[in-house]
Amino acid sequence: MYGAQTSALPGEFAACGQFIGDDAETISQYGLHGISAALRVLGPCQSSECRSIVHKMVSYCEASLGVASGQSLDTKLAVGDTDNVIKLGELLYGLYFVTVAQAERDRLVNSVADRLMKSLINNRGWGYFIGEESPELLPSAYAVRGLAQHGYDVSGPRKFVLDSLVAKNRTTGTSPADLTTAIACAYCLTFCKREGTAQDPVLRSAFMSAWPSFEPLFGEDIEQNLEYWREKTTDPMRDRKTEYVRIPFQLYLMALAAEYSRWRRFAGFRAQRRLKSTLDALRNASFKYRYSGRCLSSRTNGIAYDALAYIREHVRHFTTLRLAYTVDRVRVAVGSVPFRIIAAAGVLVFSCLSVRAWLAAGGKLADLAPELLVSLIALVLAWAKGSHG
């Protein structure tokens, strides 16, 4: 409401940039990532403030995309990257939560959806930008989610995404970027409007395959920053421009765990610790990933809102979840390095005392040598595993 980007616009328009918070008020920023996030968060809100700002943001998008006649806007103040598929998909998704009482959204929805449907590549998917010739997994997933929310037939590109996830799951040596992309796709397709409520086995498999690699990282605030670029264009300067999209895979994983593995993974110690840390930061208006910059990201906070909304919708039976959490906390404690070292030291002391008692009772050391040697080797191996686990 008070940022530099809105202050520079005519009074009937408003925008939300990439960054939010006190540090970002003086930055003039116009982008669909921020606007889409703001629509997702403020769309369900029915206060007069929310209705006013949502209406202005929708009007701004219409003027920027040339949807509504009679609205003029300086091109320098218009939103950019209107051919970016990820951003258009997110815009459609955010608009789904805008109510009739806030703004007339249908003109904008129809215009954006029409652009995406006309640029669909062989009924398979989309590249990162409209007009590209090869479909890519990540933009296709975001576009599928946005279109599906408004009832468009996306069976073709949905199949492309699912088939690609199956192929990735069968490939050995998958990179972290491939895993985070798979998680983002699983999130987009799991939590979008679709017929039926049955869990998709491909999406569940993608989640289950990625979880072991990422669960140990829940002790830190980490998100993936994925870079992409345009294919050949008529403007050589645009060919050199690299874009970035943030993939807050920890948020995606927690929501997917609430859907696909509520008792074992969502209720697990590491996941709950990460969830609590996220909630604490959101309550203090300080939720950000430190490796992604010092400012708060509107998109990341919008995704946090979205993921938590789905978690709240899916989570029930809190007493049973607490029991599962307690059991997993014991498992994590038992598997920790300090516990392994203490256990190994205890076994070593007990073994020494047993040997001493055996010798004091007249036994011979030679009788114990094979068993003792095997026990000591096993003890050393167990300690080494614990120190590197």
pLDDT digits (tens, 9 = 90+) for 100-132: 888 899 999 999 999 999 999 999 999 999 999
Report the pLDDT value the prediction gives residue 173, as an integer from 0 to 100. 56
CB hemisphere CA count around 152 (13 angstroms): 28
Q: How far is CA 247 from the centre of its chain?
A: 5
CB hemisphere CA count around 176 (13 angstroms): 13
Q: What is the mean pLDDT of residues 67-75?
A: 76
**pLDDT tens column, 164-175:** 999 877 665 556
Report the pLDDT value the prediction gives residue 314, as an integer from 0 to 100. 81
Does the structure show a pLDDT above 50 at 386? no
Does the structure show a pLDDT above 60 at 388? no
Can you tell me the distance from the alpha carbon of 384 to that of 268, in angstroms, rounded to the nearest whole number?
26
Can you tell me the distance from the alpha carbon of 229 to that of 233, in angstroms, rounded to the nearest whole number?
11
Tokens of 306: 């979205």
155 pLDDT band (50/70/90 cuts)? very high
Report the pLDDT value the prediction gives residue 323, as an integer from 0 to 100. 73
28 pLDDT band (50/70/90 cuts)? confident
More confident residue, 378 or 264: 264
Of the ranges 59-68, 341-350, 365-374, which is most confident?
59-68
161 pLDDT band (50/70/90 cuts)? very high
329 pLDDT band (50/70/90 cuts)? low
Report the pLDDT value the prediction gives residue 267, as an integer from 0 to 100. 85
Does the structure show a pLDDT above 80 at 283? yes
Report the pLDDT value the prediction gives residue 292, as an integer from 0 to 100. 83
Task: Produce one character per residue of 108-134: b if its CB has 16 or more CB atoms within 10 Å, e if not.
Answer: bbeebbeebeebbbeebbbbbbbebee
Beta carbons of 140 and 160 less than 8 angstroms apart? yes
More confident residue, 186 or 174: 186
Average pLDDT, the chain: 84
Among 53-67, 222-236, 271-285, 375-389, which is the least confidently predicted range?
A: 375-389
Report the pLDDT value the prediction gives residue 47, as an integer from 0 to 100. 92
Of the ranges 57-66, 260-269, 288-297, which is most confident?
57-66
**pLDDT tens column, 191-235:** 988 765 567 899 999 999 999 999 889 988 899 999 998 866 555
Does the structure show a pLDDT above 60 at 373? no
Among 42-51, 157-166, 254-263, 312-321, which is the least confidently predicted range?
A: 312-321
Among 58-62, 176-180, 309-313, which is the least confidently predicted range?
A: 176-180
Report the pLDDT value the prediction gives residue 353, as an integer from 0 to 100. 74
Does the structure show a pLDDT above 80 at 82? yes
Q: How far is CA 256 from the centre of its chain?
A: 9
What DSSP character marks residue 136? B
Report the pLDDT value the prediction gives residue 301, as an integer from 0 to 100. 95
Report the pLDDT value the prediction gives residue 142, as an integer from 0 to 100. 98
237 pLDDT band (50/70/90 cuts)? low
Q: Helix, strand, or coil here: 74?
A: coil
**Residue bearing tokens 């954006």:** 112
User: Please, which residues bridge with residue 121 across strands?
Assistant: 125
**Share of residues in the chain with pLDDT > 90 (%):** 48
Q: What is the mean pLDDT of residues 13-17?
A: 90
pTM: 0.83
**Residue bearing tokens 């209406």:** 55
More confident residue, 380 or 29: 29
**Share of residues in the chain with pLDDT > 70 (%):** 79
